[in-house]
Amino acid sequence: MAQQAPHPSEGPLSAGTDWGFQYVDGEWLERGDRDGIEVMDPSTRESIATVPAGTPEDVDAAYAAAEAAQSEWEETPPHRRASVIRSFVAALESQFGEIQSLLVAESGSAATKAKFEVMTATGVAREAASLPTRLSGEYKDSLIPGKDNQVKRVPAGVVTVVTPWNFPLSLAARAVLPALALGNAVVLKPAPATPVSGGLAIARLFEEAGLDPGLLNVVTGRDETVGDPITGHSAADVVAFTGSTEVGKRVGKRAVESLALPALELGGNAPFVVLDDADLDAAVDAGVYGTVYHSGQACISINRHLVHESLADDYVDRLVRRFEDLPVGSAHDDETVVGPLIDERQRDSVLGFVEDTVEAGAALETGGETVDLGGVTDSLVVAPTVLSDAANDMPAACNEHFGPVAPVIPFANDEEAVELANDTEYGLAAAVFGGDLGRAETVADRIDAGMVHVNDQPINEEPHVPFGGRKASGIGRYNGEAAIREFTEEKWVSVQRTRRRYPF
């Protein structure tokens, strides 16, 4: 007789757990007669879980629970809220390896990426634990005699969090944890491809941490069924969304129509500028990492390599050699650096960008094809790809390709480098490499992006530093003090300490 899979509340977190539940008002609600969503392992192409396909009624129940629980949580002393977040950290650390394995199986994360993602989520949680006692206000002198003006920071209320599949744990954590720490309740919708590590596992960890029922509610579901009800719900006060710009515009519109504040971290097209005085070995090291980390599936990955024309040929040669030496294959192999893309749609999109860019005149130096995996039909692994003699308007350069692809675009001088870097609708992340730090920083200052890194690559995030973009890359910021601004509101309280005289 087959052994029954453990309930989400039982045993270690695992892909072998029965994840056929929603988490609402502190209860694990069975799938029942709802449709199921199969969760696939991108490396093996096998099903690892089936989660409920939520309904609009599930969404309403989640918001009702959140609204009912939030007011008492807001009045909870800050040390108690901080204690719950610290308990979450302890629960996360106690199952570090199990959660890392979940990310490998569910999101196709290579071991190193999965490890770093758990570390990032842990750092975000530790930072969030400090937020309850960092809330502060202002005193404003009054124009009216005997009056005190106090401007306080108060919780926004109910925060909606909608997260993507590429960094499911850390991108959920950076919104869920500070929102809860600051006295809000949360309704979380993880991506359908990663509902466990992006949602249900987080609920389980908070259950262990002793979070009160109703404060975190997780609704798994298809975007076309619960996406609009979640992002446009009348009970939401903030809608925190991470994903594509196209979808983000629709989410932002839905949020504003229901008078919720949109916090949107959207698409990117990160330029990596290599000046003529750069240390080429160091630049190539950074260029490799910033391109193939998580197989290029990051909004802050290097999308375009802008290299001074005097270095471009040498840079391409070195990049090709490095790419061809990278361990490529299943994410379940601990040696793998470049693993699978999330699904067929993403793989075909990346290969299509490469093909169209070659047709537009670029040269394919290496890659541009899938890598066979033994015993796996229809592999999702795309070989690291270098395209030389590319131009800014070619498909792999002007689009956010989201794959292990490096279009190399030569430039003649700093002015052209800045012009090329800014020639995009996006403004999320960028990087500049140069020997003269003053010159490199001057170039960085002229790049229109929310985050620019000098003598590094753009895949950087620190839990206390504002993270976000400009232009079509979003609205608002995450992390540290920025999270306080996103998940709280200003409230003016005036106190008339002496009797006021009115004109009538």
What is the DSSP-derived secondary structure letter of residue 293? G
Q: DSSP for 9-37?
A: TSSS--TTS---EEEETTEEEE-TTS-EE
* CA 147 to each of CA 154, 211, 378, 497: distance values in angstroms, whole numbers, following the listed order: 21, 40, 72, 6
265 flagged as catalytic: yes
Given 117, 207, 299, 365, the catalytic residue = 299
- The number of helix segments (H) and strand segments (E) in the chain equals 15, 22
3-state secondary structure 330-394: CCCCCCCCECCCCCHHHHHHHHHHHHHHHHCCCEEEECCCECCCCCCCCCCCECCEEEECCCCCC
Given 265, 400, 461, 486, the catalytic residue = 265
Chain centroid offset of residue 467 CA: 10
d(CA 124, CA 211): 17
Q: Diameter of the chain by CA atoms?
A: 88
3-state secondary structure 423-440: CCCEECEEEEECCCHHHH
* CA 232 to each of CA 17, 60, 260: distance values in angstroms, whole numbers, following the listed order: 32, 11, 8
Active site positions, annotated: 265, 299
